[in-house]
């Protein structure tokens, strides 16, 4: 491949390689680390000693791809579509992607105005089932909206189901969202989400490893998930069956040392079975945005304490509560019987009973005392 070995040459070389090698190819990643992008691209385009780690047949296949690759045309098409190519080491490159080692992207094609590096610093992935239930869609949208309102960037895959709900929930509150595609960013996929992905590009970012015009494949969807996991501080899974791409993202996040969270669902739902399996392992159960932010955020971003309502009975002095507990559920009781049940004196029991009467818990019936209807209902 012609061109100098400077920054522009490396940029063109990496653009060339996105057309030649598949996302997540660790052998190619090792070549890049050991020889640099310009030299790897030169050998694949112009010939030279075969690089190690592949068969002759595989090398010939890569060379054939290289013969058809035209990085200058790809870069020009990207510019025309409002797309830029972001390379490792560049000012917009998110350094956390380097945690992928040799499996890190060769580069990322980005559509949208915000800085990918800055947005990724405070981002959370929300992923889940494509064929989600109404519950899953509602939870994903509400969770994403809550995170966006707290200043978090919501990252997902742009797919049907939970992904789409998470993006829409974020956009609905004017929040920041990133869609990581398994296709060229100028070719929204799925096609039914063309309008949604276009809106994300206008309000947020659409990124992907594949050059303009490239289509997705099943393996590219799976490999795309490692980018979602590495890009973010943590991954939340909302509904996922045992075999789910969302679980691939969660497990990648765990391998990278990122936070992994799951939203529980009905134990009878197969779409929550994968989430529950995660929760039986190292994942943390979350139910709303505050709990997610507490886990992935800075010190002091605490979720509110969760407790049931405070009832009037809870505010009673312990001695008064013991007297109240000593009254029978039905009928009246004498003071002596109540005092014995409460473990106190006759005079103390009388004083507590009058206190309880003023609060509406008990009433006097002749020489006895009984619970009021209000107290019985509260119990």
Nearest CA among 53, 186, 110 for reference residue 40: 53
Per DSSP, the three-state class of 329 is coil
Is residue 134 within 8 A of residue 226, CB to CB? The reply is no
Residue environment code for 94-110, b if the CB has 16+ CB neighbours within 10 A, otherwise e: bebbebbeebbbbbbbb
- Please, what are the averages of pLDDT over each run of 10 residues along the chain (379 residues)? 58 97 97 96 90 94 94 95 95 97 98 97 97 96 98 97 98 98 94 96 97 94 97 97 94 97 96 96 96 84 68 87 92 93 94 92 90 72
Nearest CA among 301, 157, 165 for reference residue 232: 157
CA pair distance 69, 169, nearest whole angstrom: 39
- C-alpha distance from residue 95 to each of 13, 232, 297 (Å): 20, 11, 18
Is residue 147 within 8 A of residue 293, CB to CB? The reply is yes
What DSSP assignment string belongs to 131-173?
T--HHHHHHHHHHHHHHHHTTPEEEE---TTHHHHHHHHHHHT
pLDDT of residue 3: 42
CA pair distance 38, 315, nearest whole angstrom: 74
State how far Cα 218 lies from the chain centre: 21
CA pair distance 219, 43, nearest whole angstrom: 26
Task: Dump pLDDT digits (tens) for 98-142.
Answer: 999 999 999 999 999 999 999 999 999 999 999 999 999 999 999
pLDDT of residue 322: 94
pLDDT of residue 365: 86
CB contact set of 16 (below 8 Å; sequence gap of 6+): 1, 41, 44, 45, 66, 69, 71
pLDDT of residue 366: 86
pLDDT of residue 5: 43
Q: What are phi and psi of 242, to 5 degrees?
A: -60, -40
pLDDT of residue 4: 39
Which pTM value belongs to this model? 0.83
């Amino acid at each position: 491949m012609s061109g100098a070995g400077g920054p522009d040459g490396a940029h063109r070389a990496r653009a060339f390689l996105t057309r030649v090698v598949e996302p997540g190819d660790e052998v190619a990643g090792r070549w890049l680390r050991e020889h640099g992008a310009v030299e790897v691209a030169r050998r694949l385009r112009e010939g030279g000693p075969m690089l190690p780690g592949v068969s002759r047949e595989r090398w010939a296949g890569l060379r054939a791809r290289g013969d058809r690759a035209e990085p200058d045309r790809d870069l020009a098409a990207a510019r025309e579509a409002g797309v830029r190519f972001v390379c490792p080491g560049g000012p917009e490159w998110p350094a956390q992607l380097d945690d992928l080692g040799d499996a890190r992207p060769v580069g990322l094609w980005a559509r949208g105005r915000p800085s990918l590096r800055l947005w990724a610093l405070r981002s959370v992935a929300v992923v889940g089932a494509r064929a989600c239930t109404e519950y899953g869609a509602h939870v994903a949208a509400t969770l994403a909206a809550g995170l966006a309102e707290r200043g978090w960037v919501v990252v997902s895959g742009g797919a049907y189901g939970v992904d789409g709900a998470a993006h829409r929930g974020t956009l609905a509150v004017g929040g920041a969202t990133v869609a990581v595609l398994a296709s060229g960013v100028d070719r929204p996929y799925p096609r039914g989400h063309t309008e949604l992905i276009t809106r994300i590009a206008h309000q947020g970012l659409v990124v992907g490893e594949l050059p303009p015009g490239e289509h997705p494949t099943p393996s590219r969807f799976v490999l795309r998930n490692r980018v979602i996991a590495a890009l973010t501080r943590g991954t939340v899974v909302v509904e996922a069956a045992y075999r789910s791409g969302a679980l691939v993202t969660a497990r990648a996040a765990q391998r990278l040392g990122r936070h992994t969270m799951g939203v529980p669902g009905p134990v009878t739902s197969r779409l929550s079975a994968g989430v529950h399996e995660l929760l039986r392992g190292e994942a943390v159960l979350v139910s709303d945005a505050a709990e997610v932010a507490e886990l992935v955020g800075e010190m002091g971003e605490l979720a509110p304490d969760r407790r049931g309502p405070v009832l009037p009975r809870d505010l009673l002095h312990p001695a008064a509560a013991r007297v109240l507990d000593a009254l029978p559920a039905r009928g009246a009781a004498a003071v002596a019987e109540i005092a014995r049940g409460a473990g106190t004196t006759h005079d103390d029991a009388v004083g507590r009973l009058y206190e309880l009467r003023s609060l509406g818990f008990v009433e006097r019936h002749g020489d006895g005392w009984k619970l009021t209807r209000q107290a019985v209902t509260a119990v």
